[in-house]
Amino acid sequence: MAVSLWAALIGIMSGAIGYWVSTFVMQPMLRFWDLRNKVLRDFIYYAQVINADGLNEDMKQLYRERVLSNRKASAELAAAILDLPSLYLFYLKRKGQVPAEAAKHLIGYSNNTDHDQAYRVETHIRRHLGLPKQT
C-alpha cells in the first residue's frame, strides 16, 4: 500500500509541475515566438508599401493594412512580453535582444513613410527581436 501511495504522490506532483511549466513558462514563450514571426511575415509581406503616395487604390489599401497590422503586432508584443518568465527575459537581454524596445519602435515604424528611415527602424526592430537581417 505504501508503494502505491508514493507512486500516486509522485504522479500528482509530476502532473502539477508539468502543468505549471507548460502554462506559465512554455505558453508565454510560444506566444512571444509566434508574434515575433508575425512581425517578420509582415515585414516581408508589406515591404513594397512603405509610402502609398502615387500608388493605385489596391496598394493604398495594402498600406492601410500594413499600418494597422504593425500597430496590432506592437500591442500584442508588448502584452506578450509581460507574461514572459524573468529568466527568459534575462537570457534575451544577454543575447542583445530587447523585445520591449522593438514593440515601442514598431509603432513608429507603422507611422513611417520615408524609405530610408523605415529601413533603419526595421533594422533596429529586427535586431531587438533577434530576427534575421534584411537582404
pLDDT digits (tens, 9 = 90+) for 35-47: 999 999 999 999 8
**Is the pLDDT reported for residue 1 higher than 70?**
no
Report if residue 6 sits inside a domain: no
Q: Contact at 8 Å (CB) between 92 and 130?
A: yes
CA distance 78 to 85: 14
Q: What is the mean pLDDT of the chain?
A: 93
Report if residue 90 sits inside a domain: yes
Report if residue 22 sits inside a domain: no
String of DSSP letters for 61-111: HHHHHHHHHHHHHHHHHHHHHHHS-HHHHHHHHHTT--HHHHHHHHHHHHH
Report if residue 15 sits inside a domain: no
Query: How many domains in the chain?
Result: 1
pLDDT, mean of residues 76-88: 96
Q: Which of 120, 107, 109 is nearest to 77 (CA)?
A: 107
Report if residue 93 sits inside a domain: yes
Report if residue 80 sits inside a domain: yes
Report if residue 57 sits inside a domain: yes
**Is the pLDDT reported for residue 59 higher than 70?**
yes
Q: What angle do CA 106, 135, 31 make, to 5 degrees?
A: 40
134 or 36, which is more confident = 36
Model pTM score: 0.88
CA distance 51 to 115: 7
Report if residue 46 sits inside a domain: yes
Range of the domain at 105: 28-129
